[in-house]
């Protein structure tokens, strides 16, 4: 069973979007099978085999755009993954692009971004480390 403290320790090594694949490998090793990150305030629900843990809000509430904009999200993802923006900037940009949450599946190694209607906006394959 993983703990939020273990996840925080793994996350402490993330400096930009470029570090994301390594972080996913680290939480997978802890036993996390999936997690959903909610853009509104940054709280996260982590799931493992028969285990769930919730991390509290990380920042003040953001307003999520009512309509998803895939092109805008794709642009923000590209620059974030290149290390050009920090986490909070990316979250703010994702909110503006209409992202309600993203869900990572550590078994399928995918990250899916959803709009407020629950529609998939972008599905990314997480590269190996």
pLDDT tens digits, one per residue of 7-45: 999 988 877 667 788 899 999 999 999 999 999 999 999
Q: Which residues pair with 124 in a beta bridge?
A: 111
What is the pLDDT at residue 16? 64
Of 24, 38, 34, nearest to 118 (Cα)?
38
Instruction: Classify residue 12 by burial, with Cβ atoms within 10 Å: 0-12, 13-18, 19+.
Output: exposed
Q: How far apart are CA 26 and CA 103, in angstroms?
A: 16
Of 36, 41, 85, 38, nearest to 59 (Cα)?
41
Span 33-77, pLDDT tens digits: 999 999 999 999 999 999 999 999 999 999 999 999 999 999 999
Q: How far apart are CA 24 and CA 107, in angstroms?
A: 10
The structural domains of the chain, with segments of one domain joined by +, span 4-125
Of 104, 114, 99, nearest to 44 (Cα)?
104
Span 78-122, pLDDT tens digits: 998 888 888 899 999 999 999 999 999 999 999 999 999 999 999
Number of neighbouring beta carbons within 10 Å of residue 127: 10
pTM for the full predicted model = 0.89
Do 111 and 126 contact (CB within 8 A), yes or no?
yes
CATH class of the domain whose range is 4-125: alpha beta
């Amino acid at each position: 069973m993983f703990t939020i403290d273990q996840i925080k320790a793994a996350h402490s090594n993330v400096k930009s979007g470029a570090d994301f694949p390594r972080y996913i490998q680290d939480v997978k090793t802890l036993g996390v099978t999936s997690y959903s990150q909610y853009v509104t305030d940054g709280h996260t629900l982590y799931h493992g085999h028969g285990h769930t843990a919730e991390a509290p809000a990380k920042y003040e509430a953001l307003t999520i755009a009512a309509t998803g904009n895939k092109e805008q999200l794709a642009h923000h993802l590209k620059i974030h993954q290149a290390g050009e923006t920090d986490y909070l900037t990316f979250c703010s940009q994702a909110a503006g692009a209409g992202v309600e949450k993203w869900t990572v599946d550590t078994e399928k190694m995918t990250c899916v971004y959803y709009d407020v209607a629950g529609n998939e906006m972008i599905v990314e394959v997480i590269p190996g480390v």
